[in-house]
Chains A and B, each alone.
Chain A
Amino acid sequence: MTEYALFLGCMVPNRLPHLEFSFRKILNHLDSNDLVHDISGFGCCPEPIGFPGMDNITFMTLAARNLTVAEEQKLDILTLCTGCFESLKTASVKLKHEPKLLEKVNKHLSKVGREYNGTVEVKHIAQFFYDDIGFEKLKKNVVKHLDNIKVAAHYGCHLLRPSEILAFDDPHNPTKLDELIEATGAKSVMYLRRDYCCGAGTKSLDGNVAAEMVMEKLRQIARVGADCMSVVCPFCFLQFDLGQEMASRAFKDSYDVPYQIPVLYYTQLLGLSFGIDPKEFDFKRHRIKVKPLLEKIDAVAVPAV
């Protein structure tokens, strides 16, 4: 089995530790702790929106530095954030196929006594559950089928595109996250604008543009009657959780607001189906209340045979 260095990034450990907890809890529950290692030495991924726009070589060099940290330990990289995933995967793919770029980057890296040899693969946890853990193991651990809830999957731009580089799933009609959600027994519902951006990338420039993007997604999700959303990125999480509250306030005259669609990180949803006590996940940290969802699950949840 491939072993990974866990790349926490910045948003998960420094703002949303409950998401990190949910991943570690699941890993522990699946008895797979030995697949994922905590190592020191990682820096910023760096973030894939502003940095490549400011200076591509700096972006590549800082990303490659992280790759060398994993390479030293002969480990691949596993990320909890789709932003880290895009940055590191883009660097790993490009540096593998563009020797001139690798040479340039290594010249900078030599100043800190590092060299990248192009051996590190980068994976996001969605892919990890899909390929490495596998459905058989996931389903074996489901003790509480979430049959009576409808979940709206939000993949996130940086998990899917550019598909030529990230190669996670079909960018126009992705299914992997839906399959992962349905492993819990829940129904993953289709909705319009499924591949739309959460808006996090424009938030710092103009909060209204970001809020409009959030509202567009929520409107479509509310239309199909989803009970909650499932995301695999801390920025998307924040955008739909805190952002939902803020956008509902900002658009209280023009939409059917306030929306109250709980947002769950995928490993939190998985945890519920594994029968882990919801109290452990500290759902009170979520701005959109999760309690109604938990009550709905408990109302008719059928114990798995």
Chain B
Amino acid sequence: MVTRSKHIKINHEFIRELTKLPECENLKNCYQCGACSSYCPSFKYSKVYNPRKIVQDVLVGLKDEILENTNLWFCGVCHACTEQCPQGVELSEILSHIRNLASKIGNIPTHLVSEVKNLLETGQVVPPSSAINRRREKFGLPELPDAPVDEIRTLVKSTGFEDMIRRKIELEKAKEREIMEEAKARMKKMEEKKTEDA
């Protein structure tokens, strides 16, 4: 790893690691034409999510910058980039894999953490509600069977997913504590200054 400046770390291994994976092997075919970004609705409206730029950053080795960037999650997984790429780069697969790596270091948006909580509690991302069940009855729709919560819990434990999410939740709590403590320290300082002034 070569450090070019104080802020930018170049990691030449990153592209090698990625291209070893079958879904990422054609990554180097990218010649930065930008067809992906021009068809990307998230790029058009969010202005902060740019698939072409992410590939460029991968090619030059800005691993940390990519994985720590929360804008990665603006991808709506519409796969337009993959369909449009003239070089056959499977962009949505590659970006999905990059998000896998980002998740491992705790870069997961909070709405997905709540999704996972729903899944582990009810077996579904959009949980059932009693009001809707009454409406179902009115329509004469069949009663919904129970979701297999136990099996789902066992499986996410087995794949290590549960641990990853737990780490993320703990990370968030630690961050909250840090912010609280900083605020408390600031308050204390202000009060001290007040008594000094008095």
Contacts and interface: CB of A to CB of B under 8 A. Distances in A.
A21 B154 contact: no
Interface residues of B, number: 59
B4 to A, nearest CB: 30
B132 A38 contact: no
Contact of B147 (A21, A44, A49): A44
Contacts of B135: 17
A1 interface: no
Given A209-B46, A212-B45, A157 B141 contact: no
A175 B116 CA distance: 36
Contacts, number: 172
Interface stretch (B29-37, B68-76, B179-187): B68-76
Nearest to A196: B41
Nearest to A24: B141
Contact of B92 (A58, A65, A162): A162
B75 A14 contact: no
Contact of B142 (A38, A111, A213): A38
Interface stretch (A123-131, A197-205, A252-260): A197-205
A105 B128 CA distance: 28
A47 B125 contact: yes
B100 A54 contact: yes
A44 B129 contact: no
Given A14-B132, A44-B123, A202-B76, A54 B155 contact: no
Contacts of A112: 151, 154-155
A280 B41 CA distance: 37
Interface residues on A, range: 35 or more
B96 A52 contact: yes
Interface stretch (B7-15, B53-61, B157-165, B169-177): B157-165
Contacts of A163: 83
A17 B77 contact: no
A284 interface: no
A41 B148 contact: yes
Contact of B155 (A56, A65, A205, A206): A65
Contacts of B74: 202, 205-206, 209
A48 B77 contact: yes
Nearest to A66: B148
Contacts of A169: none
Nearest to A16: B132
A202 B148 contact: no
A200 B126 contact: no
A185 interface: no
A52 B77 contact: yes
Interface in A183-210: 195-197, 199-202, 204-206, 208-209
B119 A56 contact: no
B96 A46 contact: no
A15 interface: yes
B155 A108 contact: yes
A62 B126 contact: no
B141 A20 contact: yes
Nearest to B150: A112
A237 to B, nearest CB: 13
B109 interface: yes
Contacts of B149: 43
Contacts of A202: 42, 46, 74, 76
9 contacts: A17-B132, A43-B123, A50-B112, A55-B161, A112-B151, A157-B77, A162-B79, A204-B112, A216-B41
Interface of B: 41-42, 44-46, 73-80, 82-83, 90, 92, 96-97, 99-100, 103, 108-109, 111-112, 115-116, 119, 123-129, 132, 135-136, 139-142, 144-149, 151-152, 154-156, 158-161, 164
Nearest 9 CB-CB pairs, A to B? A201-B76, A40-B145, A161-B79, A157-B78, A204-B111, A53-B99, A10-B126, A197-B78, A58-B161
Interface of A: 8, 10-11, 13-15, 17-18, 20-21, 24, 38, 40-44, 46-50, 52-58, 61-62, 65, 108-109, 111-112, 114, 157, 161-163, 171-172, 195-197, 199-202, 204-206, 208-209, 212-213, 216, 282
